[in-house]
Amino acid sequence: MRKIAMLGSGFIGRFYAESIHGQRGRDRVVAIYARREESAKKFANDYGCSIWGTDMEEVIANPEVDMVCIALPNNIHEAAVMLCVKHKKAVVSTKPLGRNADEALRMMKAVEEAGIFAGYLEDLCYTPKFLKALESVKNGALGRILWAKSRETHPGPHSDWFWDKEQAGGGCMLDLGCHCVEIARNFIGKDVRPVEVMCWAATQVKPIDAEDHAIALVKYENGAIGQFEVSWTFRGGMDLRDEVMGTEGTIWINNFLRTGFEMFTTGKGADYVAEKAESTTGWLFPVGDEVNDLGYNHMFTDMFNAAEQGREPAETFYDGYVVNAILDAAYRSAETKQWEQVKLPVWRGREGLTQESTLVDYDEEFYLIKEEVTHDGRHKVILKDKQTGRISERDLTN
């Protein structure tokens, strides 16, 4: 049984508490820290917490607590992690790990030097569809991964601090791009080094200092490309989609918005529909089991099992640090309008990878470009001469 102190009583803290209490059954949120007393009391009452307070260190240090879950604004993550280090408490933190790679690296080094368990709560890398897709990719169903694209767009976050660039550290790119970057890393291979980033970002709609829309390409050392599209300006709910393309296949995933559950209502008796839903009337797209479909159940199960088994979880503080480094390069690129190098002073993956050959032998004389059956029933191949480079086609029908 895990006895958890939740730091933060807002939207994400409540999502986390519902998952923790509902998945393995034996784990409990026993303590809550909130910046406002009324918020702490309400959370404690709603989730049966025997310990509550507005002093973060006091809540973390309580002897009843054996793990701390950080669900706080980005600018408080580092202070919370350092208190966990001070009091030798296992810690799991919401995404992004830091506002930048420097913060993330300090947190990563601190927990590792202290020898405490630390997990990165990247829920979208635990959704049932993602886990099934990743298993297929690892089993080779798609061949060599060439391109992994992830999209997260919605009308904007729920809390005021997200919209403050100083507290959040950025806009939609840091808030949503962290999900998308880590999804692509998993499909391409976490041991493949991200090399450079090209990014466009702008403030198109919202009256804020940070970006509300961004698109980027992340180039990996083996030639693979990660791509993300993020926005706080999308109207119509929350759109979560992933695409993975390899030499032998393709996967499309729709995690949210259009998932096969559609409902029309005039609004009579309607209340909550789904996260980021903009309306309770007309055609709506509810989610069958939102906490599970967004990955929270599988995520906490992995975290708690890993802590008990003395192993690393699937998502670690190191992963959070790499994600922050990629996003730092994206922010630089958005300013310079050029490819920007991903700066990773600590890298634990493979070194010196090169792009694999795309050449497929057809026979001793030719490379195979394409084989197909045309609409008129012909079976043909398109070939490239190994010596001359000349491209030709051959009809194999007869």
**pLDDT tens, 259-299?**
778 877 887 766 666 666 777 778 777 777 888 888 999 99
Query: CA-to-CA distance for 329 and 322, rounded, in angstroms?
Result: 11
Which SS3 state, helix, strand or coil, does residue 131 take? helix
For residue 15, the domain's CATH number is 3.40.50.720
Residue 352: per-residue pLDDT: 92
Helices (H), 30-127: 37-47, 56-61, 77-86, 101-114
Average pLDDT over residues 91-100: 98
Percent over 70 (pLDDT), the chain:
97
In a shared domain, residues 86 and 186: no
Query: CA-to-CA distance for 355 and 360, rounded, in angstroms?
Result: 15
Residue 155: per-residue pLDDT: 92
Which tokens go with 377?
A: 């029933």
Is residue 153 one of the residues assigned to a domain?
yes
In a shared domain, residues 151 and 18: no
Residue 275: per-residue pLDDT: 65
Is residue 352 one of the residues assigned to a domain?
no
- Give the H/E segment covering residue 250: strand 249-254
Which tokens go with 334?
A: 């958005």
Is residue 25 one of the residues assigned to a domain?
yes
Is the Cβ–Cβ distance between 211 and 170 less than 8 Å? yes
In a shared domain, residues 274 and 182: yes
Q: What is the pLDDT of residues 212-265, one digit of tens each?
A: 999 999 999 999 999 999 999 999 888 999 999 999 999 999 988 777 788 778
In a shared domain, residues 75 and 209: no
In a shared domain, residues 88 and 130: no
Q: Which residues contact 190 (CB under 8 A, 6 or more apart)?
A: 319, 322, 349
Q: Please, which pLDDT band fits residue 75 given cuts at 50, 70 and 90?
A: very high
In a shared domain, residues 93 and 108: yes
Q: Is the confidence at residue 102, as pLDDT, over 90?
A: yes
Cis peptide before 96 (omega within 30 of 0): yes
In a shared domain, residues 173 and 192: yes
Burial of residue 308, with CB atoms counted within 10 A of its CB: 0-12 exposed, 13-18 middle, 19 or more buried? exposed
Average pLDDT over residues 356-378: 90
Cα separation of the two ends of the chain = 69
Q: Is the confidence at residue 76, as pLDDT, over 80?
A: yes
Q: Is the confidence at residue 108, as pLDDT, over 70?
A: yes
**Of 93, 122, 151, the domain-final residue:** 122
Residue 262: per-residue pLDDT: 80
Residue 258: per-residue pLDDT: 78
In a shared domain, residues 188 and 288: yes
Which SS3 state, helix, strand or coil, does residue 166 take? helix
C-alpha pair distances (Å), 309 with each of 16, 89, 178, 303, 304: 22, 16, 27, 10, 9
Sheet holding 391-395, edge to edge: 366-373, 379-385, 391-395
Is residue 348 one of the residues assigned to a domain?
no
Query: CA-to-CA distance for 298 and 122, rounded, in angstroms?
Result: 11
In a shared domain, residues 111 and 129: no
- The torsion of the CA quartet 176, 179, 184, 187, rounded to 10 degrees, works out to -160
Distance of CA 300 to the CA centre of its chain: 15
Is residue 54 one of the residues assigned to a domain?
yes
Query: CA-to-CA distance for 303 and 313, rounded, in angstroms?
Result: 6
Residue 398 neighbours by CB distance under 10 Å: 5
Query: CA-to-CA distance for 24 and 301, rounded, in angstroms?
Result: 7
Strands 145-153 and 239-246: antiparallel
Count of structural domains, the chain: 3
C-alpha pair distances (Å), 371 with each of 48, 376, 379, 383: 63, 15, 8, 9
Residue 8: per-residue pLDDT: 97
Q: What is the pLDDT of residues 114-159, one digit of tens each?
A: 999 999 999 999 999 999 999 999 999 999 999 999 999 999 998 8
Cis peptide before 313 (omega within 30 of 0): no
In a shared domain, residues 118 and 218: no
Domain range for 373 is 360-395
Of 185 and 359, the one with more pLDDT: 185
Is residue 302 one of the residues assigned to a domain?
no
Average pLDDT over residues 71-92: 98
Is residue 319 one of the residues assigned to a domain?
yes
- Give the H/E segment covering residue 92: strand 90-94
Residues in the chain: 398
Average pLDDT over residues 21-46: 92
In a shared domain, residues 370 and 314: no
Is the Cβ–Cβ distance between 21 and 28 less than 8 Å? yes
In this structure, of 153-162, 191-200, 276-285, 313-322, the range with the lowest mean pLDDT score is 276-285
In a shared domain, residues 252 and 131: yes
Q: Is the confidence at residue 211, as pLDDT, over 90?
A: yes
Average pLDDT over residues 17-32: 88
Residue 289 DSSP one-character state: T
For residue 284, the domain's CATH number is 3.30.360.10
Query: CA-to-CA distance for 203 and 88, rounded, in angstroms?
Result: 41
Is residue 325 one of the residues assigned to a domain?
yes
Return the CA Rg of the chain. Answer: 24
pTM: 0.92
